[in-house]
């Protein structure tokens, strides 16, 4: 693979993650992870939700990530992305240090500000309606983690969180800390947090021109903060499927319609298309040649790390064709 462009695989951990998937299956998740590693992919990703998909059936994120540490040997992995409010930030920092340690330094820490109010309330977790305040709490959670991962004892007294002489040993293998990715699109506050704190940025699929525009916002924030823009890895989460026959195209459109129904309302950040042509505008779906052209468009737009949901899993056809016929030519 071209080292300048990386490819990661989002695992099918919820019901309806792919065009054929049903309830999440542990053997399928493990086999896809192992096959992705064997095919040379760079990373594995799991969403952090407690309720998602058809019937709200989904594996818990951190438990799943922990199994990847022993199921694989080389490939990196992480949450895409953690909701700061699902776990105590200080305990999460300890969990991350342990997982990075036992995996030999392969964890990527993805953080997000959260968005799913229904999920929070259903689990008795606090819901903060202000996006600005959620981003501020996420920022503070990240800063607390950075303190926890360094030094013999950690003390931190923030507006929302604090620790007093907390010991976080063993330390992460990766020093000074595991890479921190922040996911999201908000330009005024979220992307500024990316410029301030992140080693990587991830965003849901969007048109190449919009992706480039978002990067210009990050660059402006970096300039105002004195941050090296080039030190941030630019990523995008998208749906991918190599289509060989018309029936597969119909299957993809049925999946998009079903996915929209899972949320009960349209959302610009969730998979959305009514025709195959609409799907091709935002996602990487089509023949081998069409998918190669789309990937090149996104690389030109600035994507450095594709985090993909292959829509035909548990079949590994798209994963295999992408790794053997497209990626080597990029």
SS (H, E, C) 219-259: HHHHHHHCCCHHHCEEEEEEEEEECCCHHHHHHHHHHHHHH
- Residue 2's pLDDT is 45
Nearest CA among 105, 97, 117 for reference residue 77: 105
For residue 300, the surrounding DSSP H or E stretch is helix 288-301
Going by their DSSP bridges, the two strands 233-242 and 76-79 should be labelled as: unpaired
- Residue 299's pLDDT is 97
Can you give the pTM of this predicted structure?
A: 0.94
What is the C-alpha to C-alpha distance for residues 198 and 177, in angstroms, rounded to an integer?
12
- Residue 249's pLDDT is 83
Residues 239/308, Cβ–Cβ less than 8 Å: yes
**Token representation of residue 155:** 């003390």
Quick one: CA dihedral 201, 47, 45, 92, positive or negative?
positive
**Token representation of residue 135:** 């981003």
- Residue 264's pLDDT is 55
Q: What pLDDT tens digit does each residue of the chain (330 aa) get?
A: 445 899 999 999 999 899 987 889 999 999 999 999 999 999 999 999 999 888 899 999 999 999 999 999 999 999 999 999 999 999 999 999 999 999 999 999 999 999 999 999 999 999 999 999 999 999 999 999 999 999 899 999 999 999 999 999 999 999 999 999 999 999 999 999 999 999 999 999 999 999 999 999 999 999 999 999 999 999 999 999 999 887 888 888 888 888 777 665 555 557 777 788 888 888 999 999 999 999 999 999 999 999 999 999 999 999 999 999 999 999
CB atoms within 10 A of CB 266: 8
What is the C-alpha to C-alpha distance for residues 279 and 241, in angstroms, rounded to an integer?
11
CATH number of this structure's domain 6-329: 3.20.20.30
For the chain, the residue count is: 330
- Residue 1's pLDDT is 43
Q: Give rounded-to-5 percent helix, strand, coil for the chain.
A: 45, 20, 35
Quick one: CA dihedral 79, 308, 304, 211, positive or negative?
negative
């Amino acid at each position: 693979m071209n080292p300048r462009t990386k490819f990661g695989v989002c695992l099918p951990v919820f019901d309806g993650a792919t065009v054929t998937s049903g309830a999440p299956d542990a053997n399928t998740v493990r086999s896809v992870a192992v096959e992705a590693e064997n095919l040379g992919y760079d990373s594995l990703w799991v969403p952090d939700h407690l309720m998602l998909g058809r019937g709200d059936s989904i594996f818990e994120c951190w438990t799943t990530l922990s199994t990847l540490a022993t199921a694989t040997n080389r490939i990196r992995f992480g949450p895409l992305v953690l909701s700061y409010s699902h776990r105590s930030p200080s305990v999460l920092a300890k969990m991350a240090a342990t997982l990075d340690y036992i995996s030999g330094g392969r964890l990527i820490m993805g953080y997000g500000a959260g968005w799913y109010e229904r999920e929070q309330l259903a689990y008795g977790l606090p819901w903060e309606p202000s996006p600005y305040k959620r981003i501020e709490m996420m920022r503070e959670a990240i800063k607390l983690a950075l303190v926890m991962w360094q030094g013999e004892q950690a003390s931190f007294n923030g507006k929302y969180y604090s620790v007093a002489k907390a010991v976080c040993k063993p330390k992460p293998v990766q020093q000074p800390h595991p890479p921190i990715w922040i996911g999201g699109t908000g330009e005024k506050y979220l992307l500024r947090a990316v410029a301030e704190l992140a080693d990587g940025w991830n965003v849901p699929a969007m048109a190449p021109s919009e992706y480039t525009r978002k990067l210009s916002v990050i660059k402006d924030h970096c300039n105002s903060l004195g941050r090296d823009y080039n030190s941030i890895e630019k990523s995008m989460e998208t749906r991918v499927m190599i289509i060989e026959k018309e029936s597969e195209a119909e299957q993809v459109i049925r999946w998009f319609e079903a996915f929209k129904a899972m949320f009960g309302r349209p959302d610009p950040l969730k998979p959305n298309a009514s025709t195959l042509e609409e799907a091709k505008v935002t996602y990487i779906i089509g023949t081998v040649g069409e998918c190669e052209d789309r990937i090149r468009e996104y690389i030109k737009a600035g994507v450095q790390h594709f985090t993909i949901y292959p829509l035909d899993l548990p079949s590994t056809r798209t994963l295999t064709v992408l790794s053997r016929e497209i990626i080597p030519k990029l």
